[in-house]
Amino acid sequence: MSHIAVMGSGAWGTAIALSLAQRGGHRIALQAHSEASAAVLRERGENAVFLPGFPLPKEIRVTADAAEALEGAEIVVGVMPSQYVRHSFERFAPYLHEDQVLVSASKGIEDETGLRMTEVIASVLRARGLHLPVAALGGPSFAQEVAAGSPTAITVATPDMPLAVRLQREFSSGTLRLYTNEDVIGVELGGALKNVIAIAAGVVTGLELGHNSMAALITRGVAEITRLAVACGGRRETLAGLSGLGDLVLTCTGSLSRNRTVGIELGRGRRLPEILEGLHGKVAEGVRTTPAALGLARRHGVEMPIAEQMAAILHQGKSPVEAIRQLMQRPGRDE
């Protein structure tokens, strides 16, 4: 029996904890960001805010105390919005030790540094003299469907193959299948950048532009993501897999995608602050990832025309119709 601490009680963190509980054979702690949030989870017996309708079984111990959640934990899963990863692990660091394994299930790029989430975590640990392995989870996985037990396939990435196989064994169940991958860069950038393209896919849907437009966007989105990932040291084939194409297709077409929802409302003419307020505290990672991705692209000399137009729509008030017109009128090139 392994003790696994899931640090973050949003929709995805709760779904991971539920999947582990359904699998059986683990002690599971689910850490909420505040005592008030933890109390509500315990009292209601479900995550009524982020993942309603899925009772929390007794195997999941809910707490707001990081020290309590991490005590005895062999595997620590970080599942918080990307903007909070650094601060969260700075709080957790005093309770971490060298015998633990960390898994990042957060998808994004840090604003100021351009670091991937495993890099953010590693930098926090190094500052405290800790050297723990940090793996990454990626792939097409809506929290609601994982919690419901819908068959789902995702990727666990780490250059340490014995560790990858161990995590594969610990997390896999009859409804959740994990594939191993050594390419952490490709897996993380695929998971982060697909959110940018998903907002664009929502714009296409909101403008009612049809299936041709969507197919073109997803295909060119894969090309754009792959260019940057390869320039950063990732492998092209990773972006054709679950954490690349798989995650992109899901997030661009699935009605449960918050990033797609933001894009739909932008396409319908609503303004970003109003749209985000309507999410009621839920996070659309692509909004923050877009400028961070462009900063990373400039650093590596990579062209990202879709991301550039999305940044103009999101942060400069550009008309979605004008953005699409400019994309379509770019100079011709080879595929």
- The answer on whether 11 is annotated among ligand-binding residues is yes
State both tokens at 195.
């959110």
Q: Residue 116 gets which letter from DSSP?
A: B
- The answer on whether 26 is annotated among ligand-binding residues is no
Neighbours of 59 (CB within 10 A): 16
The helix or strand, by DSSP H or E, that contains position 54, with its residue range, turns out to be strand 51-55
- The answer on whether 43 is annotated among ligand-binding residues is no
- The answer on whether 10 is annotated among ligand-binding residues is yes
- The answer on whether 141 is annotated among ligand-binding residues is yes
Residue 194 annotated to the active site: yes
How far is it, in rounded angstroms, from Cα 110 to Cα 113? 6
Give me the catalytic one of 166, 194, 235, 288.
Answer: 194
- The answer on whether 72 is annotated among ligand-binding residues is no
How far is it, in rounded angstroms, from Cα 152 to Cα 172? 10
Tell me the three state secondary structure of residue 90. helix
How far is it, in rounded angstroms, from Cα 214 to Cα 17? 34
Q: Is 139 exposed, middle or buried (0-12, 13-18, 19+ CB in 10 A)?
A: buried
- The answer on whether 292 is annotated among ligand-binding residues is no
Q: Which of 192, 191, 189, 213 is nearest to 202 (CA)?
A: 213
- The answer on whether 173 is annotated among ligand-binding residues is no
- The answer on whether 318 is annotated among ligand-binding residues is no
- The answer on whether 143 is annotated among ligand-binding residues is yes
- The answer on whether 105 is annotated among ligand-binding residues is no
Tell me the three state secondary structure of residue 27. strand
Q: Which residues are annotated as a binding site for NAD(+)?
A: 8-13, 143, 258, 282
Q: Which residues are annotated as a binding site for sn-glycerol 3-phosphate?
A: 107, 139, 141, 194, 247, 257-259
Please list the active-site residues.
194
Q: Which residues are annotated as a binding site for NADPH?
A: 12, 33, 107, 143, 258, 283, 285
Q: Which residues are annotated as a binding site?
A: 8-13, 33, 107, 139, 141, 143, 194, 247, 257-259, 282-283, 285
